[in-house]
Structure 1
């Protein structure tokens, strides 16, 4: 280790003026997390708006839109998982006061985004033959293909948003994330209302209008984030686009080294829910529509511990970068307490008010929706039961990411979701003939397994040597 690096490390360690008390850690975590939590809720509101308006079009369009998004989202989330490695890497660089690395990491985040888009685009365009092989409804598949063909160009701006959000989060600048995300939600809702239903003199494009709206919203949000980073005095000094075409192989490899397991972890989880949607598709249109409604509600609740998890990545990453084991401990457990506390409240709400909640998505006065409404309410009760496990696993996974510990959590996720969750879902859903409820119980089993293992891993982080490289 050269003298410059040693000096930077010593300066970073000396910058720890004091070990934060639990009350101060609560304030620091909350100040960082609350805009992220609301921004995550707003981000999900983009999809929620689509689901609600697809429901207004009717169960056929809701089912087709669900098939399209359940095909797109796993690939998109896998990509965002990889580019999301920018957050812990920048946080660690900031904690170690290695500011020069910040620009290089962000720049290579854009490079990684371009590589991911080149890989994913041809795969996404194969939706019709793949769904035909899986026995999905032909009419719904055709509509889903139309959606995907129009929505594919959103990949790069969507991944670029993650890169820029990671930079802003690592520097505790989260309110602008909230502002831009809310602006995106409002813009998406207006575009949906205009294009899906043919308002304000525009043609009625139905599901294709939703795809165009989603694309336009992601382009707008990326442009706004980029303008902010390039013009704000705190970030323009990084000159993130300087020498943009100059490769930095070390940081590009680091992004893929840390981010690929994150992407595969996300893919394993989202893929489980995609598989559940496909299993629902074998049961019928009402089951798919009900699954879409229940999943959207569960996803909204999930955004709160997810926002807290992102905050824990930054807090843990800062402490890890400056060599502060006590800071790591308090940052991780505080996010865990807050995340599981909320999910306990959310789960109880799902159990007590399931019928009223699903009535917001499907018109209860329409007799054609009665079966889907009943199914959605029963699914939501099961979702309420596994909320604690869902909150625990996402916060623990993000805290571990702050220490660049991503490979073992990936293995745990793959085992938990695919060797535990999916088999239980299939056995209970089809062998035991519990149908949709059985499938949702399988989802709960997979989440519970992952939660127990990852929380235990964070608790044993020192014994497992996860802090060794920063000692």
Structure 2
């Protein structure tokens, strides 16, 4: 299938700044758009669940903490696909076998994590109660998470396949497939949450079923596309899919586990904020989740651009082209921070408008509405640092530099960020706002550490092969 769109399987590094900017935009804009639409799957859930009630939002927030933890654990092997594939293609764009084995072993690792998924769901209700969460909210969250879990392996599989497609500069059709998935999720939500078209009214449980159905459909769509696309099909990804390649499996694990840990360090700081807010109150917890959802939507733009940057720097590293790698890094960081700054200003200046999208006009929602309006400018305050750290981190991953950045993220988020959030949020009169200040402190530290690491690797040590 030749789509005739702008995707190209050409993976050569750039020779000048304009060429690099053009290549990053062609690759990164659809990836950023796809990230936004992916996030919209959860946003649509929250928007519809918020119409049911505050307790349902709180239960969904708690379940999404667990769902996100599982996503972060699997993120390592999934994200490891990008540098493995892009560097292999940078060295030899016809090395189909090497690429196929990397993708296959990434998918194998996702399957291997399914037993952990079952254990976490079984343990989440008692653990939530031990951490001071409302027992009724914890029970609802467990049921919702159990239904989300059916779609989890498929959505992680989609992410691995998307990373492969990005590495061969195929991003337009994947974006359209993700857009279709979000649309299906919205339709399934409308039917199952509210009981439309003769379906039972399932409220929160309906949202879980809808998300899983959408994930399954998305995985099928990507398999069909890869088999039909004239460039992707050359890799024959699913040939002998049942056969292991244990050396490559170890490569994926070796590269993937520090990425998973780094992602957990960062992501669980934000999710720890959910738990800290839950100690303060249900309304604060629900409002925090809405504010975090808005910030996460904005974050999808620099994240998508930085994922493209990881592909670009991986191609340059595979070809041994240091000047091209420097261009890829510079353009990626600059573009990510500029776009994020624009989005942060828009959020800071329009909290009332954004809040109205999430919270209904009823008087009973006055408290949560006021909290969200107060939280959004605070969320906008850390976005600049968030863009720098994600760009630097993704670029380092494209160079296969993962272990030292892992330590840096641990220090930033849990030695600096969490103590600030905990102390200000629970031990001072600053209260709920203090949790946002803690997030900002962690992201500021990460942007400094990871930015310095990227500069050290490319401009001081001048190396493309990083031995951890």
- Conservation of the 8 A alpha-carbon contact between 1:273 and 1:443: yes
Pick from 390, 397, 408: which aligns with 2:393? 397
The correspondence of residues 156-195 of structure 1 with structure 2, limited to 5 A, is 156-195=153-192
Q: Does 1:418 align with 2:452?
A: no
Q: 2:309 aligns with which of 289, 307, 312?
A: 312
In structure 2, relative to structure 1, the CA distance for the partners of 1:437 and 1:36 (3 Å cut) is same
**What is the CA deviation profile of residues 306-361 of structure 1, one whole-angstrom value per residue up to 9, with x for unaligned ones?**
00010011000000001000111111110111110011111112221112211210
1:49, distance to aligned residue in structure 2 (A): 0.2
Match of 1:49 in 2: 44
Q: SS in structure 2 opposite 1:42?
A: helix
- Asked if 1:452 corresponds to 2:460, the answer is no
Aligned to 2:431: 435
Decide whether the 8 Å contact of 1:93 with 1:99 is kept in 2: no
What secondary structure sits across from 1:244 in the alignment?
Answer: coil
- In structure 2, the CA distance between the partners of 1:332 and 1:18, relative to structure 1 (3 Å rule), is closer
Runs of 4+ in 1 over 6 A off after TM superposition: 15-18
Which of 220, 244, 251 aligns to 2:248? It is 251
Aligned to 2:273: 276
Query: Residue 384 of structure 1 corresponds to which residue in structure 2?
Result: 380
Whole-Å Cα distance in 2 between the matches of residues 197 and 346 of structure 1? Answer: 33
Offset at 1:17?
8.2
Show structure 1 runs of 5+ residues with no match. 1-14
Shift of 1:446: 0.3
Tell me, yes or no, if the aligned pair for 2:13 and 2:315 is still in contact at 8 Å.
no
What CA distance in whole angstroms lies between the structure 2 residues aligned with 1:53 and 1:108?
37
1:280–1:291 contact (8 Å) kept in structure 2: yes
Determine the structure 2 residue equivalent to 1:11: none
Partner of 1:76: 71
- Which deviates more from structure 2 when the two are superposed, residues 114-123 or residues 306-315? 114-123
Q: How does 1:222-261 map to 2 (within 5 A)?
A: 222-261=219-258
| Partner residue in 2 for 1:101 | 98
Q: Is the 8 A contact 2:11 2:169 kept in 1?
A: no
Distance 1:133 1:180, change over 3 A: same
Match of 2:4 in 1: none
Q: CA deviation at 1:464?
A: 4.2
Partner of 1:154: 151
Is this contact kept in 1: 2:96–2:234, CA < 8 A?
no
Residues 11-90 of structure 1: pairs in structure 2 closer than 5 A: 20-90=15-85
Deviates more, 1:288-297 or 1:19-28: 19-28
Which ranges in structure 2 are unaligned for 5 or more consecutive residues?
1-9
| Partner Cα separation in structure 1 for residue 301 and residue 227 of structure 2 | 29
Give distance in 2, aligned partners of 1:172 and 1:30.
11
Shift of 1:16: 10
Distance in 1 (alpha carbons) for counterparts of 2:122 and 2:150: 11
Question: Which 10-residue stretch deviates more, 232-241 or 139-148?
Answer: 232-241
In structure 2, what is the Cα distance between the partners aligned to 1:421 and 1:293? 21
Answer whether contact 1:154 1:218 (CA < 8 A) is retained. yes
Deviations 1:116-136 (A, max 9, x none): 223333123211111111111
Q: Could you say which residue in structure 2 is the equivalent of 1:375?
A: 371
Over the residues paired in the alignment, what is the CA RMSD in angstroms?
A: 1.6
> What is the rounded CA distance, in whole Å, between the counterparts of 1:120 and 1:277 in structure 2?
21
Whether contact under 8 Å (1:125, 1:148) holds in the other structure is no
State which of 396, 404, 407 in structure 2 corresponds to 1:408.
404
Distance (whole Å) between structure 2 residues aligned to residue 176 and residue 16 of structure 1: 18
1-side partners of 2:277 and 2:405: how far apart? 28
**Which deviates more from structure 2 when the two are superposed, residues 207-216 or residues 67-76?**
67-76
Greater CA drift, 224-233 or 333-342 = 224-233
TM-score of the superposition, structure 2-length normalised?
0.94
Alpha-carbon separation, structure 1, partners of 2:99 and 2:106: 11
- TM-score using structure 1 length: 0.94
Cα deviation code 1:355-408 (max 9, x no counterpart) = 221121001x21111111111121111111111000110011000111000111
Distance (whole Å) between structure 2 residues aligned to residue 271 and residue 388 of structure 1: 20
Between the aligned partners of 1:247 and 1:16, the Cα distance in structure 2 is: 27
CA distance in 1, matches of 2:13, 2:412: 39
**Distance between the aligned counterparts of 1:215 and 1:125, measured in 2?**
18
Q: Is the 8 A contact 2:89 2:318 kept in 1?
A: yes
Tell me the alpha carbon deviations over residues 42-97 of structure 1, each in whole angstroms, 9 at most, x when there is no partner: 00100100010111111111111111111211211221232111011100110011
CA contact (8 A) 2:287 2:368 kept: yes
Contact 1:136–1:282 under 8 Å retained in 2: yes
Alignment partner of 1:296 is 2:293: yes
Moved more, 313-322 or 343-352: 343-352
